[in-house]
Amino acid sequence: MAADARPNFSDLEAAAAGRHAVIAVAAAHDPEVLAAVRDAHDMFGTEAILFGQTARMDSLPAMAGITRIDTPDDETSAALAVEACRGGAASILMKGNLPTGTLMRAALARDTGLRSDGLLSHVMFYAPPRYGKLLVLTDGGLNPFPDLAQKKQILLNALTLMRRLGWTDINVSIVAAAEQVNPNIQSMVDAEWLAAQPDWAACSAHVIGPVGLDLAVSEAAAAAKHYTGEGAGKADLLLVPNYEVGNGIGKTLTWFGEAESAGLIVGATVPIVLVSRSDDHIAKRRSIALAMAASANDMEDNR
């Protein structure tokens, strides 16, 4: 991969294959979760500690590096999986068949959780067939209505992750409904302020905004409207105003744009694989690959 190229899902899975990682899965008793754990074991050599109802894990045969620990309920499963990450036995936390809230309460617990100094945020990767590269979106999941300081941290979190995964010269579009700033619309004011910050060159990013989605992802649309911001029409990363917008764009990409996806929560002491229960095992396996590349580089950074 050339220095200025963008990785695709195959590149990211190939990078994961060279890493060592142990996933702690909370409530692992789910066929698609177990299939993803098995895929990751076979393809990347990933080890795993599976917390949950071990009697419901029969679809996964016994194999080296996979440990099962029986737990009485989701809360215990979540607490033990988080503790495995805190103690260093595992390097990735993964959501199985339990409510997101149950897992995140354990992960965010003040004294026993996985908080770092920063803000946790959600990053989704989409592969729209008609786009030719991955399109990353943040934050469509964890921070419903972030304020300006939170948006800045959300953007920094995504850029940090993308650089670890191999992106350089990242084109960021801060999405709004249009380009001309209406001072009564907070997302536009925020976008203009964020885009003007001097931080982004140091993150290997060009940041434009506010910008409508059309000008963010279509060079033809940007040319037609004479919009000339650097990277217009070829966004790598979309920063959305709030989770409703991110959820709407993301689900439209999935259901009408036929985009495959993978997702992560970043900003905690370990990456958290938090894909939807309705995602298939391929999406879950890809999310594990993203987490492995991110966490393995973490370890290298800390050497």
Interacting positions 74-133 with a second copy (CB under 8 A): 128, 130-131
Instruction: Return the C-alpha torsion angle 260, 141, 34, 126, nearest 10.
Output: 10
Query: Is 224 a residue that touches a second copy (CB under 8 A)?
Result: yes
Which CB atom, from 39 or from 139, has the smaller least distance to a second copy? Answer: 139
Query: Is 176 a residue that touches a second copy (CB under 8 A)?
Result: yes
Among 163, 225, 260, 282, binds a second copy (CB under 8 A): 225
Query: Is 226 a residue that touches a second copy (CB under 8 A)?
Result: no
Reduced to 3 states (helix: H, G, I; strand: E, B; else coil), residue 258 is: coil
Which CB atom, from 148 or from 299, has the smaller least distance to a second copy? Answer: 148
Work out how close the CB of 198 gets to a second copy at its nearest, in angstroms, rounded to a whole number.
27
Cα distance between residue 113 and residue 273, in whole Å: 15
Work out how close the CB of 215 gets to a second copy at its nearest, in angstroms, rounded to a whole number.
9
Q: What distance lies between CA 234 and its chain's CA centroid?
A: 20
Reading the block at residue 194, the tokens are 């964020």
Query: Is 253 a residue that touches a second copy (CB under 8 A)?
Result: yes
Query: Is 181 a residue that touches a second copy (CB under 8 A)?
Result: no
Reading the block at residue 185, the tokens are 């619309």
Cα distance between residue 25 and residue 52, in whole Å: 8
Q: Where are the beta strands (DSSP E) in 9-131?
A: 22-26, 47-52, 66-70, 92-95, 121-127
Among 27, 34, 165, 240, binds a second copy (CB under 8 A): 240
Interacting positions 186-215 with a second copy (CB under 8 A): 187, 212-214
Query: Is 52 a residue that touches a second copy (CB under 8 A)?
Result: no
- Among all chains, which residue has been given the structure tokens 């993203």? 290
Question: Per DSSP, what are the bridge partners of residue 135?
Answer: 126
Question: Per DSSP, what are the bridge partners of residue 51?
Answer: 26, 69
- Applying CB under 8 A, the residues found at the interface with a second copy are 128, 130-131, 140, 144, 175-178, 185, 187, 212-214, 217-218, 221, 224-225, 240-245, 247-249, 251-259, 277-278
